Structure formats: structure tokens, C-alpha cells
Structure 1
Amino acid sequence: MSVTPVVKPPSGVTVFLEGPYWEVSTQSLLYVDMTGKTVHRWNAATNTDEVINLDIDEKTRPSLIVPRQSGGYIVTHGRTVSHLDWSSRNLTALANIDGVESDVKVLFNDGKCDSKGRLWAGTFPADVKDISNLPPNQGFLVSIAEANVQKQADKITLSNGMAWSADEKTLYFVDSIPREILAFDFDVNTGQLSNRRVAVAFPPDSKETLGMPDGLTIDTDGNLWVACILVGKVACFDPQSGKLLRTIQFPVKGTTSCCFGGENMDELYVTSGNSAVINDKADGEVPPGSVFRVTGLGVKGCPDHVYQN
């Protein structure tokens, strides 16, 4: 197994990369920089990183990017879902969460599409400066189809990564602050969730070794790979037993999310970032905010779905 940085941030620039998505059609890695308010498309063959600066409000930040079946990309930023035309760089709002009933103002965070092309995205309370001190249970999970935003689960503190089982009967979903990976029974035809439960609970005494779960992906064996922010790891869990199977160590603390990619979908791509909470010092050869490729894991993933509306 090897861990290699494939993209490094410019010297002295603070970035917070999130939402990696492997675009099969272009053999490229998509991701966002929350701090810089940019979206990226790194091409594996040419080793070039195309960057678009988003024309968005200075108080908002992008949280995910996924391809759209009809062309272009879907980007969430702040409370808005928008279409991004890569060639023109035009960003067109499609929907927002203003109409979703909530006691507090929330912002979009991580998300993915299911096989029917619905976008699923989690939220967390806005106007909180210290994300580690979020008030509990004020975030929620929504689905978005044809500009219709529906709340699907509530009482979530900090929404993060998600993935579906191969048979699409289970949705796995990270709530970072309680350090849990939740599982829901999932009806792919109706998009309804039921039977909420905890699939993986990070042990209370593991904060120094496992940090806090952030983004995640799933392999073809059904095991979950979750980025453990604050400790620079990706951990692999069996969601049926909740057992920790293995960990990968990185040369930075702020590992944020991961996805499988490459020609054979057997490479793990991992984003990272830096913030006051992480306080990762750029004192090594690999700066915080780099993108990593992990090879030789002996496992594969499946391509993620696209937005179809």
C-alpha cells in the first residue's frame, strides 16, 4: 500500500477540501475548497487541476459537487443548490432549503446522489463559529429532485458523509459530533427512510486515535471507509458488526473525505484541509490541504451516481 499526494495547495494558502467525487467519463477527481470558495477538477492522466472561483456570497461556502446527467454539475453552497456550467463558469440557482421547516437556520454540508438521481444532502446549524460546539440535533437530511427539497431525517448535529449498500436497501450516514455512522432502511423507489439505528459508534476513549468521522465511501465488499479528521486517518469498518478492520495514516491531521476512483476503481482518493480547530502545521513536505491517492489496498469501489433532474 502507498499514500501519495497528487495535489498540493499553493504555499501559504489555507484550504479546506471536501466532497471528492470520481468522474468516470473524464477520469477526473471533482472536489470543493470551502475556504477558497472554489471547485476543482483534477485530471489523473494530465495531472492538471482545473479551478473555478465561484461567484457566491462571501459568507457562504461550497460543500459538494456532482455531475448532472444533462450536462454540467450540481453544486451546493450555503442554503442553495445550483447548476454549474463548467465552460461558461455560470452558476444558476435551482433550489434552496428556505421552505423546509426548521427551528434554526441551517447550511448544506456533504451529500451524494442515489441511483434514481436524487441528491441527498445533510445540514448543520449556521451562525456557529466553533463547529466542535454545535448545538445538538438541529441539523437534518434532505433529498432534492426536480427542485423539490424534502426533509427525510432530523435530529442530526453535524451531517457528513453517506453511502448506499450494493443492494440499495441501506443508507449509511455520518453524524460527526456524536461520532456515529447511522444506518437507515432505504426504499430506492420512493426515497423513503426508516428504521434509524447506529451502525458504527466510535468508542468514547478513541478520540486521540480515531478523531471524528467526516466523509465516507463504501467498497464492493460492503465495508465503509471513513475519513477521521483531527488525527489524519481513514478507517475501514464492517457496518454489520461495527468492527474496525484497518486504518490508513496520512502525513496531515485534517483528512476530510474519501472516494474510490481510477481506471479500475481500486484507488482511494482522500481530501484534507486545515482550520483553527485542526491546527495542522505545515512543517513537513506535504502541506495540509493536499489531495492523496492510496493504492494497493486490495479493494474496489463502485462509481457514484449523477444528478438526473
Structure 2
Amino acid sequence: MDRKVIITAESTCDLTADILQGLNIPIIPMYVNIEEVSYKDGVNIQPDVIFTTFETKGILAKTSAIPVYDYKLFFEKYIEQNYEIVHISLGSKFSSTYQGAVNASNMLEHVRVVDSGNLSTGYGHTVMLAAEMARDGKSPEEILTELSHFIPKVKASFVIDTLNYLHKGGRCSSVAALGANLLQLKPCIEVVDGEMKVAKKYRGNLERTLKSYIDDKLADLNKIHPKRIFITHSSCSDEMVEMVKNAIEQKEYFQEIIVTKAGCTISCHCGPNTLGILYYDL
């Protein structure tokens, strides 16, 4: 009997429950550690807990990779249901999760692992495309070929409101964090060749910064695919998210604008009031 194709992913893809259910995408959660306690991202911990713990105790949650054994159990569940698995992983330069998934797949048959080269809904774009192809009856080989062309086209970036979380996590100096806060600098972090880089620093309040950021990123719509764009954020106000959505709608270009909340991985590193627009080029 022919095996059906199923796309699996990690919680870091930040897709909504409706999308995951509608496209039949099983998720394996990342681990989040606070002091001596380990949690599963999106299962028994949400970003609000991370923010509250940091603000009240000064303790920053840390993410950890999924063990190979967890992957093996996860994959076996769907192999037993007669599925051919294409697992798409968080970018390999961000975490060892990709290698863990590969190691587990080497113990099994019927599993292929893809490096998304990205994070959050930049990674989610790839997961959605693969799941749509699986739904439409494409083979694993056809999906892998398409993804090899698609992954380099994905554009992921975020504006960060405060550098406190990056500083606490050892990703920027105390001088840089203090200076940025005093000068109201909002860095734009961009994924370039599978790694996070500072693309630009905006100056001013978050609302003004986000308007400039949207105009900069969407300045040349002729290069961008109109199918869908994500607005992904960590605990931004409804008003702020609506302002960003309205600014994109005024471009009258995208067929679908999807708002999602960032999970624990982005939240641990970037903190609250982080927002990004994520799309892909033609």
C-alpha cells in the first residue's frame, strides 16, 4: 500500500493552530528551561511566562534542542500510521535541532529532513508550502525539489523594541543595550544565509519605527510574491498589530495577510514588543 506524505515541523515555525490543523502538520515542541525546570514550548509554557519571569526575577528562559530520542518516537508514530515523512527543521545555524532530526531519521526508514535555513514564520512559510504540496498529492521527491528552490527566497526580519533580552542572553554588550535604550534605537534583525544579522537601526518610538520598517521592506513589491505575508509578533498590543496590518493592506498587494504570535524561541531571545513581517520573493 502506498504511503501518504505528511509534513512535520518544530514549534519554532510559529504557525497558528488553525493552520496546523487545516494542513495536518504535526508539531514536536522545543524545550524551554527556566532555572532547573524544563518545559515544552506551546504545551505547558507560553511566552507571557518568559516575560513575567524576566521582569520580576531577572531570570531569562533558555531554549534547548530536542533530543534525538524524542524525534525518533515522534517519527515512529507517523511511520506506524503509514506515512512518508518530510520533516522541516529550524535553521541549522540557529540550533542543533536539525542535526538531531537527521540523526533520528538515520535510524528509520520513510523520513526525510529539510533544513529550513530560517526561524519563526520564515520557517513557517516553508512548512506551509510543503504541507500544501503534500495535500495536493505531491511526492516527497517533488516536495524536496521545490523546497530547494523556495528556501533561499524567504525573507525574515524583526524589529526589536528592547535589547535587554539579547544582552541578558549574551548576544550584545551592556554598553550597546544601554545606548540603544537611551537613544531609542530599534534594531531590525534579518535572517541572512541562515544567520541573524543587524540590518538597520531605527530611531524613535515603536510605532514610528514599524511604519518606516514596513515601507523599507515593501519598497519594491515587484520582487515579492503576492501569495501571503506573515505578521508575527511577541505580545504587541492589538492596536500596534492592527496598525501594521492596515499599513500592509494599504499596499493592496498581498492575497493573504496572516497574523501569528511568536512562540517561546523568538520570545526568549528578543523579548516583548518584537514584530516582523515575513514574506518570500518571486
Greater relative contact order (CA < 8 Å, ≥ 6 in sequence) = 2
Larger radius of gyration: 2
TM-score higher than 0.5? no
Larger % of helix: which?
2
